[in-house]
Structure 1
Amino acid sequence: MPVNLSQPIKKNIFSIPGISLGTIESGIKYANRKDLTLILLDEGSIVAGVFTKNQFLAAPVKVAKYHLSSGSNKRALLINTGSANAGTGDVGIDNAKQTCHALAQILNISENQVLPFSTGVIMTDLPVGKIIDSLDPLIKNVGPANWVDAAIAIMTTDTVPKASSTSTIIEGNEVKVTGISKGSGMINPNMATMLAFIGTDANINEAMLKEITREVCDESFNKITVDGDTSTNDSFVITATRQSNHPQITKKNASYARLKEALLEVAGFLSKAIVRDGEGATKFIEIIIEQGIDEQDCQKVGKSIANSPLVKTAFFASDPNLGRIMAAIGNAPIGSIDVSLIDIYLNDILFAQQGFAAPAFTEIMGKEEMKKDEICLKVVMGRGQFNSSVWTSDLSYDYVKINAEYRT
């Protein structure tokens, strides 16, 4: 069961002017399962993306990045589950290109205006024929209110579809933001085994969309981890249809800040939802690092804790073996640490003070706090003025079971 994460309610998910979505069963891997999703964008829309840093780059990622390099004016995103089309060599690239070409011909647009995305088992060939045969009926299924259906269709080991919406006012005009994501395992920045698509009708130029996409990704999806593994297919995309009537955002000003706040609200929910729905997760853990030298310093400490199997299994067992946290901090790749400056809190309880066990802390207190399904771990480093957070889950028996049986 996901940790305090419920099904999205369709009426709470806003349509975005200029965006239509459709889904269909194409039989890529399973029968009776929606596995192909199309996101259509009105002419004049622009797209920016951030992609995996795994060096075994999946074929659709290579093609999507290449198509984006020709300009941001895109018209369609084609997303399949069931095959990651990764580790498939030149054949995989050709297969991704074929699907883009076929869709472009039907829509009467350029092939480089189509961006392909895939998720599923690595080193499995893309069933191009099934996808191409499904394109005509898929296009007939598109509509502006299909965001939740799309969130369901892009799921793999997820147990709950992930969708979120918000709106804001920019210079007197309403701007809407809606997003969907998928991901449950192989989750670790940068980014996670995840796909995330956010749409907005904000009027923003290409340079600023690229900038805001990177910033939003860094402050949301790049701060999550479930198991420390980075996928071959990670993609985070923001599309802007530019149909809101506010003056175009061309620089970092109050309008840029207002839009970023709205985008972060949606991206923050979606990224944390991935952790809450982490494979086998029973607890959602926020790790706050305070008084680091800089953002990177804080993130390295946070991720050292979050990716430690010993720490994660202790949280699963509600075992206050909190020396594991201290050991993980000491293993962080940040150079020399003065442990005498470090205080550590479990929720609001001080358990380590100046690098030693706090006198008032007891095992019983620790166990009671670790039984909770929402836990905040705060580490005060005493070495600077920067603060940051990482979001993670525990590591349970079910995580092992899910991944041991993933292909069976």
Structure 2
Amino acid sequence: MIKVQITGKEQIVKVEEGTIITPLGFSAAGIHTKVKRKRNDMGLIYCEVPAEAAAVYTLNQIKAAPLKVTKENLDQEGKLQAIIVNSGNANACTGNQGLFDAHSMKNAVANLLSINPHHVAVASTGVIGEKMPMEKIIPGIAHLVPQKNQQAALDFNEAILTTDTCMKTTCYETVIDGVKITMAGSAKGSGMIAPNMATMLGFITTDANISHDHLQSALSAVTNKTFNRITVDGDTSTNDMVVVMASGFAENTPLEPSNEEWDQFVQLLEKVCEDLAIMIARDGEGATKLIEVNVYGAISDDEAGKIAKTVVGSDLVKTMVYGSDPNWGRVMMAIGKSGMTLDPENINISIGPYSLLENSQPTNYVEETLSDYLKNETVVININLNIGSGHGKAWGCDLTYDYVRINASYRT
């Protein structure tokens, strides 16, 4: 384990071998139903008890059937006991049949596990506009056997991927109220990513004791600083969803904002979400580099975050990074088009440790040195607006020829 942060007397510690089922009370499964030609395409997370749960959803006005079913179920009493996920078909823009199919998946899982149907969340990812191959989905559900071992977690992680090139998972633990609390996450996402949220699914488990209302409040706040700060291509999907389940098995005093250690729990959640968000940004379709943009000296944290996301989402900035061309004018352009509060004559820009602009005037940087830095797998752009104390950051990736190739043949 590696210490990554200190909060008061306690530590938030990364669990290197942790998985989505490391928190107490959870198990998982993943299988191949042949919806996709290769590799697992259906996954399940199961909790031994109905867990307090929370979720955030895409802001795209066109929402896929599974998302609607999940929201409808979660709104009933704020609890979930299982999440069924399929990849290869999004079940989006499929009308009444799509809703019927999503409900059928929910009911099949409830029957399999002998749990309440409205304690089942449904998530799908893949091609939009094609009807679900229910002749494969329903028999597949019958073969899901949730287990609490490393292979089961890996099977689940693989089952949720589409154009992803790698699995995305993380796990942390801390001590709150004198007991160990563990939180883990698994996500998918690679393209059509400009959150509010992204073409992404995120699943987080924890054994913390916390109510639905307080968990929802924490997730909504953290999402705005993590998942909503990544972008790959400026597009927002129909299926995006992040779900958190809390088993309560840690048996801590119920967490709420008035608790002395509330901030520590929120930081634990933020660390898990930030890890997953960065993994998604790094794995953008065709990407070769992760871009992190930090904005300081803004009028507010909110404005700083919006400027950072505008910069990291600029196609010209993304191609600048891909081409290792330190053209800071593209960064200035993106700052200016953000619509946020600025003093155009007082902006500092640096790329990595190298200053390019001070008080909106070019510095005597060495272009070859900057170009060499831009060849790194991670590129950090720092911006200081010098007008306030607001700070925000965002993540994205470079824009490459492969992005066009991948998306030009997505269905073939």
- The two structures have a TM-score, normalised by structure 1, of 0.93
Give the match for residue 166 of structure 1.
Answer: 172
CA distance 1:174–1:90, shift in 2 (3 Å) = same
SS in 2 for 1:70: helix
Letter of the structure 2 residue corresponding to residue 106 of structure 1: L
Deviation at 1:102, TM superposition (A): 2.1
Q: Could you tell me whether the CA contact under 8 Å between 1:19 and 1:144 is conserved in 2?
A: no
Among 178, 184, 187, the alignment partner of 1:178 is 184
Provide structure 2 residue ranges, at least 5 long, that are not aligned to the other structure: 1-13
Deviation at 1:44, TM superposition (A): 3.8
CA-to-aligned-CA distance 1:297-328 (integer Å, 9 cap, x gap) = 11221122111111111110101222111111
CA distance 1:141–1:71, shift in 2 (3 Å) = closer
Q: Determine the C-alpha separation between the residues in 1 that align with 2:258 and 2:233.
A: 35
Letter of the structure 2 residue corresponding to residue 24 of structure 1: I
Q: Determine the C-alpha separation between the residues in 2 that align with 1:367 and 1:191.
A: 32
Among 391, 397, 404, the alignment partner of 1:400 is 404
Among 145, 148, 169, the alignment partner of 1:143 is 148
Q: Determine the C-alpha separation between the residues in 1 that align with 2:89 and 2:304.
A: 36
Give the match for residue 377 of structure 1.
Answer: 381
Give the match for residue 257 of structure 1.
Answer: 263
Letter of the structure 1 residue corresponding to residue 284 of structure 2: G
SS in 1 for 2:245: strand
- Tell me which moved more, 300-309 or 51-60: 300-309
Among 325, 328, 332, the alignment partner of 1:326 is 332
Give the match for residue 354 of structure 1.
Answer: 359
Letter of the structure 2 residue corresponding to residue 161 of structure 1: M
Give the match for residue 227 of structure 2.
Answer: 221
Give the match for residue 391 of structure 2.
Answer: 387
Q: Determine the C-alpha separation between the residues in 2 that align with 1:269 and 1:114.
A: 26
| Structure 1 residue 26 corresponds to structure 2 residue 30 | no
Provide structure 1 residue ranges, at least 5 long, that are not aligned to the other structure: 1-7
Count of residue pairs the alignment pairs up: 397
Greater per-residue strand proportion = 2
- Deviating above 4 A after TM superposition, structure 1's stretches of 4 or more consecutive aligned residues are none
Q: Could you tell me whether the CA contact under 8 Å between 2:198 and 2:236 is conserved in 1?
A: yes
Q: Determine the C-alpha separation between the residues in 2 that align with 1:177 and 1:109.
A: 24
- Tell me which moved more, 184-193 or 243-252: 243-252
Letter of the structure 2 residue corresponding to residue 94 of structure 1: F
Q: Determine the C-alpha separation between the residues in 2 that align with 1:103 and 1:372.
A: 45
Q: Determine the C-alpha separation between the residues in 2 that align with 1:12 and 1:300.
A: 33
Letter of the structure 2 residue corresponding to residue 244 of structure 1: A
Give the match for residue 4 of structure 1.
Answer: none
Q: Determine the C-alpha separation between the residues in 1 that align with 2:80 and 2:277.
A: 25
Identity %: 37
Q: Determine the C-alpha separation between the residues in 1 that align with 2:317 and 2:159.
A: 34
Deviation at 1:125, TM superposition (A): 1.1
CA distance 1:9–1:291, shift in 2 (3 Å) = closer
CA-to-aligned-CA distance 1:149-182 (integer Å, 9 cap, x gap) = 2111111111111111111111211111111001
Give the match for residue 23 of structure 2.
Answer: 16
Superposed counterparts of 1:1-400, under 5 Å: 11-13=17-19, 15-30=22-37, 32-138=38-144, 140-143=145-148, 145=150, 146-334=152-340, 337-358=342-363, 360-400=364-404
CA distance 1:163–1:203, shift in 2 (3 Å) = same
Q: Could you tell me whether the CA contact under 8 Å between 1:18 and 1:41 is conserved in 2?
A: yes
Letter of the structure 1 residue corresponding to residue 140 of structure 2: S
Q: Determine the C-alpha separation between the residues in 1 that align with 2:318 and 2:112.
A: 49
Letter of the structure 2 residue corresponding to residue 15 of structure 1: T
Deviation at 1:10, TM superposition (A): 8.4
Let me know the Cα RMSD of the aligned residues: 1.8
